[in-house]
Amino acid sequence: MSKRFTLVLFVLLALAIAVPSFAAPMPSKTAANQSLDSRAADLAVVRDITSNEQVAQALAARGFTPDQVNARVAQLSPQDLHQLANNLDQLQAAGLTRQEWIWVGLGALAALILVIALG
């Protein structure tokens, strides 16, 4: 009984240490008096990404025309537009990343080992 308890405790401790934290970075707010040149540059960056063939196809699949996308981007507040333009490189397609799949697999493997050890 003591050996089984030690094994369970060890597995639980290993899982607690191995679980990564998925904290998102906190972007800083832009100044309320953002210049028109800065807004134009941000608009250019966002429109360049939305005109990408893959992005345009994904947006079209969800019912958005390029004109609708451009109109909605133009309606963004200066702060939101600047934040979007600065964080475009952090956007990813829907689904889990490879690293997240690895963590899911490791968790499933640990659960399987725990079930076998206790069974």
Mean pLDDT across the stretch 81-95? 75
pTM over 0.85: no
Q: What are phi and psi of 94, to 5 degrees?
A: -60, 150
Higher pLDDT, 95 or 55: 55
Structure tokens at 99: 């690293």
CA distance 24 to 15: 22
Residue 77 pLDDT > 80: yes
